[in-house]
Structure 1
């Protein structure tokens, strides 16, 4: 059984893909306002939000429990509309040696596709693949889409 893996979830959204990318890149502090049942808080721990090297502290609800994560904004690719976070501390590192999250947005008029990719290395062979996190990211994406669509129609 491989200890390293990669999982991908793709979600079509009807809201503006550029706005979705900008949210994760430069305004992650706004995410809890848009999806409060899954992500409760995002605070800057060090650096400046929206800049590579900044560190954010997250409070979120996953698998029936309150969880925390400290993330490094590892990379921003404006051309590809992608943002990469690396987990530095938190609940996920109780199961995984490394955990990296990529958020990529493909924009094409009204058809936008959000792709979440997680790369991970398990601490041991008994650790499950993080499939429930893909469901978590789907819910976060749909909550943000719902907020953006309802705001745009007002």
Structure 2
């Protein structure tokens, strides 16, 4: 059984893709107010928000428990509307040796597609693939969409 894996998940949103991308890039501290049942807090731990190399500390509710993750922004591509995070510390690293996620938005008129790509290496063959995390990401995207459609 392979320990390394990759998961790709897409969700269509009606809110503007540019707003979604800029939220993750430049205003991640606002995400908890838009998704209070999933993400409770986001703080800049090191560096400047919106720049490669900055470190963010996230508190979130996942799989029935309070969790934490410290992430490094590895890449920002404004042309592709994508941002890549690498988990440096936290609950995910109890099961995975490495965990890198990318969130990208493709504009398609009034509808947009958010694509999450997760690349990971499990600590052991008994660790499950992060499929439930993909459902978590879908809920986050839909919560953000709901907020932006109401405004």
State TM-score, norm by structure 2. 0.99
2:117 matched to which residue of 1? 117
2:34 matched to which residue of 1? 34
Tell me the distance in 1 between the aligned counterparts of 2:111 and 2:46: 35
1:128 matched to which residue of 2? 128
Superposed CA offset, 1:62-105 (max 9, x none): 00000000000110011111000000000000000000010000
Tell me the distance in 2 between the aligned counterparts of 1:139 and 1:117: 15
Give the length in aligned residue pairs: 151
Superposed CA offset, 1:32-84 (max 9, x none): 01001000000000001100000000000000000000000110011111000
1:80 matched to which residue of 2? 80
Tell me the distance in 2 between the aligned counterparts of 1:121 and 1:16: 33
Superposed CA offset, 1:3-44 (max 9, x none): 000011100000001000000011100000100100000000
Whether 1:2 and 2:10 are equivalent positions in the alignment is no
**Per-residue deviation at 1:128?**
0.5
Equivalences for residues 131-142 of structure 1 within 5 A: 131-142=131-142
Whether 1:106 and 2:106 are equivalent positions in the alignment is yes
5+ residue gaps in structure 1? none
5+ residue gaps in structure 2? none
Stretches of 4+ aligned residues off by more than 3 angstroms: none
**Per-residue deviation at 1:109?**
1.6
Query: SS at 1:59's partner residue?
Result: strand
**Per-residue deviation at 1:108?**
1.9
